[in-house]
Structure 1
Amino acid sequence: MRNFTVEFNPERNVTLEATVFDLPSPDEQPTSLESPRPAVIICPGGGYEFLSQREADPVAAGFLAKGFDTFVLRYSIREHAIGLNPLIDAARAVRWVRLHAADLGVDPTRIAFLGFSAGGHVSGMIGTRWDEPSLHEAERAEYEALTARGLDANVGLLDVSPRPDAIVPCYAVFNFDWVDDRTDEISFSDSIAAVTDQTPPTFLWTTNEDNVVPPTQSLRFATALSDAGVPFEYHHFARGEHGLSTATPVANADRVSLPENAHAWLDLCASWLRATWGR
């Protein structure tokens, strides 16, 4: 197993934390490890104010156990969560994993982008806005500026696509039309209206007891996917509060009780991804 962190933008503290299986050794062939492997990029939630640890490491561990390489994206938050910044971070993460797929042992055609709450908002944006010309122009300017300052992680990224091969929004925000006092400072923040037939296959879930992000956000996104003919799977669990992460004790040590079946989402998601990708 290899663990390392890639520095994307030090000015905004944007990094990608990778945990990947070792590449198979020729001396050990045939190997029981799948190669190349599917990958999941994980965006923790936190209302663009912090990054929830319960929605980072426990989720990565869960997908590692399913044979996925994992990447936790520490994206732009607080004063940096404006304009195109979060979307640039998401696009850069997909591009970086795809560009370096061979060295990582990742299948470049099986990269999922998963996010919780505000991180789910990021996943909705990259799933619906990945082909925006203004995004690509902003990416080019940022990557060239960072490369000129000696940061080489952004070199060559524009040579590969930023479109994920699937998105996984978890109790996600998809727009802000339900918030009375928010000044919308993030560009392309409405993912519901932006769904097209080019939106990647989607697995999404929420709970009916979520009192932070209305569960209707996920329902409306699922409806938009259905209208556009996008393959999707949608789970609406009856019980469970906001921020469940894996909905297991390891991610919820501060909670007295957990819903009886919401933890099933991770197994369902991993199986759905493999079935959707055909392997």
Structure 2
Amino acid sequence: MQKQELSYEDSKFTLDTYWLDPISDFDEPVDQPLAIICPGGAFKFHSDREAQPIAMKFNAAGIHALVLHYQLIEDGKAVYPLALQEMATTLNWLKTQSESHHIDLSKVLLVGFSAGGHVVANFNSIMLNPDERKKIFTDDLEVEPAANILGYSVIDMTLGWPKDEEWSMKISSDIYYWQAQEHLTKHGKPTFIWQTVTDDTVPVMNSIIYAQKMDLLGIPYEMHLFGSGGHGLSLSTYVTKHPDGGDYNVYDAKWWELCVNWMKLQKILPKF
């Protein structure tokens, strides 16, 4: 893993980069898909459990991975719109890296967990609509994502997370950014959604309403709601298991296998 620093205007942010090396046995290098991962952390921090373990899982599937350290609530700064501007900057930066790292720019995934899923859902809703994007990002978007993956994501900040409006106002004083589903249009990309119905932090209705809006707009999606398990499961395997014994449910770990199948359906990965 290597750190990469980027900036949007006068604001700096970092990426953790997990590049796949070309296979030297091949006559020519192969361009590979890429996943941009937004970990959760309640906009207070970026959870390591949803960073490197997830990135390496994508690497094992033949996908480059980046972990985006998007804007948090700190130093009096709000999350939005800066987090969306950082994502757009990252996507445009990929174009400068495509030849050296052999990236298939037509197969870029945005992956979000919990609070990081709110960033991804908002990007899918707001930033892929050219009319809305130009209000907060004046450059062209040179690379568009092909699809999204949302894990137990915050979608609507009025549905139970955050618990109080004061924290929502710190995330953004502009309520325009609170409800990602409200701004979703036909420009949105196919999305894989998973969560547990017993999530005691982010109510499962968040996932349901985003899938419902996608359904109304005719945007392809696949949703899996598991019958047990808490919030923040990450891989839901021993790899990301908390030492106290929580965050581990062998049944919910099936989400990754289901997600790989979905990526094949979306032609991000080959079917064979």
Same fold per superposition (TM over 0.5): yes
| Cα contact 2:155–2:181 (8 A) shared by 1 | yes
Mapped pair 1:210 → 2:199: yes
Structure 1 length-normalised TM: 0.84
Q: Counterpart of 2:157?
A: 176
Question: Do structure 1's residue 198 and structure 2's residue 195 form an aligned pair?
Answer: no
* Paired position in structure 2 for 1:84: 81
CA contact 2:236–2:250 (8 Å) conserved in 1: no
TM-score (norm. length: structure 2): 0.86
Amino acid at match of 2:239: V
After superposition, the C-alpha distances for 1:87-121 in whole angstroms (9 at most, x for unaligned) are 11122222222442222111100000001011000
Give 3-state SS (helix, strand or coil) of 1:203's partner: strand
1:167-207 superposed Cα distances (whole Å, 9 cap, x missing partner): 11110011212245232436533211122222100001000
Q: In the alignment, what sits opposite 1:262?
A: 252
Look up the match of 2:125. 128
Matched, 1:45 2:45: no
Establish whether residue 238 from structure 1 lines up as the match of residue 227 from structure 2.
yes
Letter of the 1:277 partner, please give it: K
When residues 159 and 83 of structure 1 are mapped into structure 2, their CA distance, relative to the original with a 3 A threshold, is closer
Contact 1:45 1:55 in 2 (8 A): yes
Correspondence for 2:109: 112
For structure 1, list consecutive stretches of 5 or more residues without a partner in the other structure.
Answer: 141-156
Q: Is the counterpart of residue 227 in structure 1 residue 216 in structure 2?
A: yes
What do residues 120-179 of structure 1 show as CA deviations (whole Å, max 9, x unaligned)? 000101111123446445434xxxxxxxxxxxxxxxx74613x31101111001121224
- Rounded Cα–Cα distance in structure 1 between residues aligned with 2:221 and 2:105: 21
Shift of 1:45: 0.5
Q: Note closer, same or farther for the CA distance 1:276–1:159 as it changes in structure 2 (3 Å cut).
A: closer
* Structure 1 residue 5: Cα displacement: 2.1
* CA pair 107-84 structure 1, distance change in 2 beyond 3 A: same
Given that residues 190 and 219 in structure 2 are in contact (C-alpha distance below 8 angstroms), is that contact kept between their aligned partners in structure 1? yes
Instruction: Please name the residue that 2:18 is paired with.
Output: 19
Q: How much is the aligned-residue C-alpha RMSD, in angstroms?
A: 2.2
Shifted more, 115-124 versus 269-278: the winner is 269-278
Q: Equivalent residue for 1:166?
A: 147
Distance 2:31 2:91 in 1: 16
* Native 8 Å contact 2:41 2:47 kept in 1: yes
User: Partner amino acid for 2:73?
Assistant: R
**TM-aligned CA distance change 1:219 to 1:137, over 3 Å:** closer
Structure-1 separation of matches of 2:216 and 2:99: 36
- Pick one of 173, 178, 193 that aligns with 1:185: 173
Following the alignment from structure 1 to structure 2, what is the Cα–Cα distance between the partners of residues 260 and 99?
Answer: 40
Higher mean alpha-carbon deviation, 89-98 vs 100-109, is at 89-98
Uncovered stretches (5+) of structure 2, i.e. residues with no partner: none
